Amino acid sequence: MRHKHQKRSERGVVLIIVLISLTLLCTIGILMMLNAGTESLLNRNYRSSTRVYYAALSGLEEARGRMWALRPDSILPQLNAAGTPVPVTSVFYIVNGNGINPTDLAADNVFADVEYQQEFGQPVDKVSRGKDHASHGKGGQHRRQWRQHF
């Protein structure tokens, strides 16, 4: 009789163990999914910042290269003489492509220079544009197409 009473009291223990195990496994699965989502966001952020870094670096290298006097699309003749101060409201844009206008502040212009007015409190009043690199071979076309993806 004592043996039958002991089996009845242990009857629900297996159900409780299974429920606890199932809850633990579900919790581990949810945490793994959250971790995978976080990793994806970190990877996307890293790719985006790396792409922006190299785009900025290529722009600086393009400007540096165009300051070389022997280059056919050099910007040196268009710049002020050495030692002459450039007014704060004068900007020199080096652009690739004919349809790019940084001074057009329309909402649909992805190349709008809105930072200048935010920084100095006045719009650009004198704009100089460098020669478009697209007219000087295949490299300019490639750069222009690549820039449009941003």
pLDDT in tens, 48-74: 999 999 999 998 898 888 888 888 877
* Helices 13-66, 138-147: inter-axial angle, 10-degree rounding: 140
The predicted pLDDT at position 14 comes to 86
Within 13 A of 114's CA, how many CA atoms are on the CB side?
A: 8
pLDDT in tens, 6-51: 666 677 888 899 999 999 999 999 999 999 999 999 999 999 999 9
**Could you give the C-alpha distances from 49 to 5, 33, 59, 112, in angstroms and in order?**
69, 25, 15, 20
Average pLDDT, the chain: 76
40 three-state secondary structure:
helix
Question: Which of 76, 106, 107, 111 lies closest to 92, judged by CA?
Answer: 76
Query: Where do the domains of the chain lie?
Result: 2-65, 75-147
**Higher pLDDT residue, 14 or 95?**
14
pTM: 0.50
The predicted pLDDT at position 125 comes to 63
Q: Can you tell me the mean pLDDT for 69-84?
A: 73
